[in-house]
Amino acid sequence: MRSRFPAWVGFAAFAVGLAIYAAGALQSPLMDEKTGEMLRVLARTADIDTAAEEKLARAYWTRYPDVAASPLYGEKGGMGVLGAREHYMNHGRREGRIWGP
């Protein structure tokens, strides 16, 4: 039985499906470092006192303006107040930075 559609229609449908899949894969936490890091942070910090954490974060950002300006760990960064602690845990401790007020 002969198909009503030319062969290129099937190829075009496959190509569109593959493009949609690739676009979704590129936004996956496995491919996007920022998203993956934020998800790891949220998993570890589900039970923290946010008011106390904000006070500690503000003190850390005041002490270290370079961290405060970071697009990931900073005041306006993707991690919010959790970014300051994450910076300290991942980098600051090793660099000799101080955590706390």
The pair of structure tokens assigned to 99 is 């955590």
Model pTM above 0.95: no
- Compute the distance between CA of residue 53 and CA of residue 69 in angstroms, rounded to an integer: 18
pLDDT of residue 41: 66
Q: Where are the domains of the chain?
A: 33-95
Q: What is the pLDDT of residues 72-92, one digit of tens each?
A: 899 998 888 888 988 998 899
pLDDT of residue 22: 72
- Compute the distance between CA of residue 34 and CA of residue 24 in angstroms, rounded to an integer: 16
The pair of structure tokens assigned to 2 is 């002969």
Q: Which of 77, 73, 71 is nearest to 95 (CA)?
A: 73
Q: What is the pLDDT of residues 37-68, one digit of tens each?
A: 666 666 666 667 778 889 999 999 999 999 99
The pair of structure tokens assigned to 43 is 């998993």
Residue written as token pair 């697009």? 71
